């Protein structure tokens, strides 16, 4: 390898250049900006079929979005909203069903 500062050849894996003394530590790897936010996509799709699973995946996808340069943020948010609406509708449907069943049984 070569020194980052003076360009002289130095031993591979050397932490400090023996010629100029400049640190050769590699800076933290740059986060990928083009990574696909898989959880956001999965959460979005699941929100239509399995609302609770979609909700969980969307929440995780939403938290991961900033790490991926905002990738999948909109999709995760959409999945989150669809999941919540879906759960709310299921909840209302169950209440209506129980109410109808109750009035039906009371009429017998």
Q: Under the rule (CB under 5 A), what is the footprint of Zn ion?
A: 3, 5-6, 17, 19-20
C-alpha span between 13 and 9 (Å, rounded): 12
User: Of the two residues 17 and 46, which places its CB atom closer to Zn ion in the complex?
Assistant: 17
User: Of the two residues 14 and 38, which places its CB atom closer to Zn ion in the complex?
Assistant: 14
C-alpha span between 81 and 86 (Å, rounded): 8
C-alpha span between 55 and 45 (Å, rounded): 10
Least separation, in Å, of the C-beta of 13 and Zn ion?
A: 15
Residue 9 three-state SS: strand
Least separation, in Å, of the C-beta of 5 and Zn ion?
A: 4
User: Of the two residues 2 and 89, which places its CB atom closer to Zn ion in the complex?
Assistant: 2
C-alpha span between 42 and 47 (Å, rounded): 8
Least separation, in Å, of the C-beta of 10 and Zn ion?
A: 7
């Amino acid at each position: 390898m070569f020194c980052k500062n003076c360009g002289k050849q130095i031993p591979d894996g050397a932490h400090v250049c023996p010629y100029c003394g400049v640190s050769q530590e590699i800076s933290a790897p740059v986060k990928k900006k083009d990574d696909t936010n898989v959880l956001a996509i999965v959460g979005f799709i699941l929100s239509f079929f399995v609302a609770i699973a979609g909700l969980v995946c969307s929440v995780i996808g939403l938290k991961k979005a900033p790490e991926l340069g905002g990738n999948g943020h909109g999709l995760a948010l959409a999945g989150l909203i669809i999941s919540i609406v879906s759960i709310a509708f299921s909840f209302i449907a169950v209440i209506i069903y129980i109410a109808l069943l109750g009035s039906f049984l009371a009429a017998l």
